[in-house]
């Protein structure tokens, strides 16, 4: 389902709108499995706040990946999801996988969807925040 998160420029001490080069950005949300749908739902509010403070509009659309996609269409990353991701300005992936699909053949495991997404979209890195402790 697609929906729009409209933003309004707010008067505040910070003008984040100067960073934006477009009026509208499209974001594909991939809730996936497990806690993913819950995380994605909470993320929508955060994205709406950022858009409102930054003076742009977000067009959020969800697509299938992982076990949810396997259950729905027997494909861990359907063509429609790939096309949606490729046509978006940004893609936000929550979580994939779970015990439910552990005994599936390799091509019907949630991780296959992630690997397919990385290959088809030319992705190669999974950046994670890190903190170096003084003891190191």
The Cα 136–Cα 134 span in angstroms is: 5
Is 95 in contact with 34 (CB distance < 8 Å)?
A: yes
Residue 90 has pLDDT above 50, yes or no: yes
Q: Model's pTM, two decimal places?
A: 0.78
Higher pLDDT, 35 or 10: 35
Mean pLDDT of 65-77: 98
SS3 (DSSP) at 89? coil
Residue 66 has pLDDT above 90, yes or no: yes
Residue 28 CA to residue 64 CA, distance in Å, equals 10
In the chain, domain spans:
2-121
Quick check: 6 pLDDT over 80? Answer: no
User: Tell me, what's the pLDDT at 124?
Assistant: 79
Share of the chain above pLDDT 70, in %: 85
Sign of CA dihedral 60, 63, 66, 71: positive
pLDDT range class, residue 125, cuts 50, 70, 90: confident
């Amino acid at each position: 389902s697609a929906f729009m998160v409209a933003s309004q420029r707010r008067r505040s001490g910070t003008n984040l709108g100067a960073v934006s080069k477009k009026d509208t950005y499209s974001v594909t949300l991939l809730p996936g499995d497990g806690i993913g749908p819950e995380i994605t739902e909470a993320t929508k509010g955060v994205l709406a706040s950022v858009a409102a403070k930054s003076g742009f509009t977000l067009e959020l659309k969800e697509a299938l990946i992982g076990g949810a996609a396997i259950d729905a269409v027997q494909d861990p990353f359907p063509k429609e999801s790939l096309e949606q991701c490729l046509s978006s300005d940004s893609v936000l992936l929550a979580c994939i996988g779970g015990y439910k699909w552990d005994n599936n053949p390799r091509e019907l495991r949630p991780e296959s969807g992630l690997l397919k997404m990385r290959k088809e979209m030319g992705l190669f890195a999974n950046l994670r925040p890190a903190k170096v402790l003084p003891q190191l």
